[in-house]
Structure 1
């Protein structure tokens, strides 16, 4: 089973969405920046590292979203931890993504998300994003 960490990056009441490059698995779908948890690494550490690798940015990682974690995908079973995150820098390099968008919770349905993101999206729609970061959840 593959273990993944994903950054639900919050800024000014919006969430950062990343469109996967066409040549990657799941290419063309939208997701939260993140990737595989490496051996000896916690999911929270992986989230921070992946933001640095994929975006070129430093971040603060807060609490895990209380959503479903295990998914069956066309590529195998996946365990994913979604973390509330705030960028400390804003380089937003396009490494694993072809495009980024800052979306309000009401705009999340405007793009086609990977299936594993759907439970996190539902929770985000019900959350006061400003309080998440200010409370350091």
Structure 2
């Protein structure tokens, strides 16, 4: 798996060369608590790196979901919309948020690997 992490606590998996998968990290879902609602972007929408692409709401708080890279949304996780708790039970798997077709793959270089992210999240 080719997973990178953002400082905003999103992960992106680029193993599928057609579309990268994006979700929130274990640290993010731990901080939020029980996720009760997700607002996912519309398929076909284009976002720049760092823009808000969705919202996740929990019993404790609401948080924006940021684009870790620029690109076009090509798919959203309808199962997550139907069962937001997937963001808690399987944040790096079934709890993914959306898939994005990258417009600039070099932006991935600015993201953290797992070791760097774990160190970053421990200080957050």
TM above 0.5, yes or no, is no
When the two structures are superposed, what TM-score results if normalisation uses the length of structure 2?
Answer: 0.31
When the two structures are superposed, what TM-score results if normalisation uses the length of structure 1?
Answer: 0.29
